[in-house]
Structure 1
């Protein structure tokens, strides 16, 4: 099981820097088209829908009022990449992963919540898994064959957006055998203080 808890601001890795570059380009285009429109100061990293379509990525949960989908799934040379921009549509994400041959158990939780730690037996020998977190979104990469027959890719995530950043917890693993239902409970990691510069929490 791999658990990652992040409280921005932290140095960006290459994945996060790439997302930030795309966001800055999108913001510049939007401001040029509508200079009178005021924007709230939020750190939201995303990928434009146009870029997703051009790359042949499956994307669901798309609204005509937003530039990015809730999540996307892409496959290249057997490597599966799952990008989550918003915690929405967990069951649809499970169905999409099934189309790629991966059985999944996905839970998007309220801020500060987590699934219990002992609800499945983890395949600790499974390699080829990578997690990157950038603000309120994250990306998971799975090598071909990481989730085998009779196994399940298990993931839960909890995100709180703030005025100038985001706090997120993501946990994932590969389960051998059955996976018990998630019974959400308070995550003690969220008792730790955040950077005051992040400002106040932003309601959904």
Structure 2
């Protein structure tokens, strides 16, 4: 499950690479974002309410639209606990991980609501079918400079699991893997492993 975001200008890229982290399972849903994390999702919905101002030293911003949709922007990959807390204030139980370069979280960490998480690798046709059925894919989507969370697809006591890594090229700030953990399924701490290693 992939989504792409248009690139930012060269000026936006200055100093970002050293602050970024890496690691992503190749079959997981990934959203990519440009190096300048702009609140384009907020601009698209002028009536959005800012829950966290994305100014000063804030690493992220969360805003809520009148329909309940959340727009999240990240300017750098730090303070995952703070992002979890802000999403919690907005009614989203989240588990956020920022990974070191060249690593990913060993899976499975939880029981997913969709068959696409933690199962054996599948071919392109079966992957398309899984994506079409996946509620995780509907609950979170990439947008211009941000990603959006659609709470109507998240059932009570489910956890939105987010794993972030470096976008690995000059055009992309970060990548994000996103899944929903079943209600009652605890999310185990991330055990990092080298990309291409066993268990992802």
- Per the TM superposition, whether the score is higher than 0.5 is yes
Q: 1:58 to 1:114 in 2, by over 3 A?
A: same
The alignment yields a C-alpha RMSD, in angstroms, of 3.7
Structure 1 counterpart of 2:50, from 54, 57, 68:
57
Q: Distance in 2 between matches of 1:147 and 1:132?
A: 17
Q: Is the 8 A contact 1:107 1:157 kept in 2?
A: yes
Which structure 2 residue ranges, 5 or more long, are not aligned?
17-33, 115-133
Structure 2 counterpart of 1:89, from 68, 72, 79:
79
Shift of 1:129: 2.7
Q: How does 1:75-154 map to 2 (within 5 A)?
A: 75-76=64-65, 77-124=67-114, 125-126=134-135, 128-132=138-142, 139-154=146-161
Shift of 1:86: 1.0
Q: Distance in 1 between matches of 2:156 and 2:55?
A: 31
Shift of 1:109: 1.2
Q: Larger Cα Rg: Structure 1 or Structure 2?
A: 1
- What SS does the aligned partner of 1:59 have? coil
Q: Is the 8 A contact 1:79 1:142 kept in 2?
A: yes
Q: 1:55 to 1:16 in 2, by over 3 A?
A: farther
Partner of residue 60, structure 2 = 71
Structure 2 counterpart of 1:171, from 167, 177, 180:
177
Structure 2-normalised TM-score? 0.60
Structure 1-normalised TM-score? 0.59
Question: Across the two proteins, how many residue pairs are aligned to each other?
Answer: 152
Question: 1 or 2, which has the higher strand percentage?
Answer: 1
Which structure 1 residue ranges, 5 or more long, are not aligned?
7-12, 28-38, 190-204
Residues 4-54 of structure 1: CA deviation (Å, up to 9, x unaligned):
5x9xxxxxx6x536xx4xx69xx6xxxxxxxxxxx9698832327xx88x9
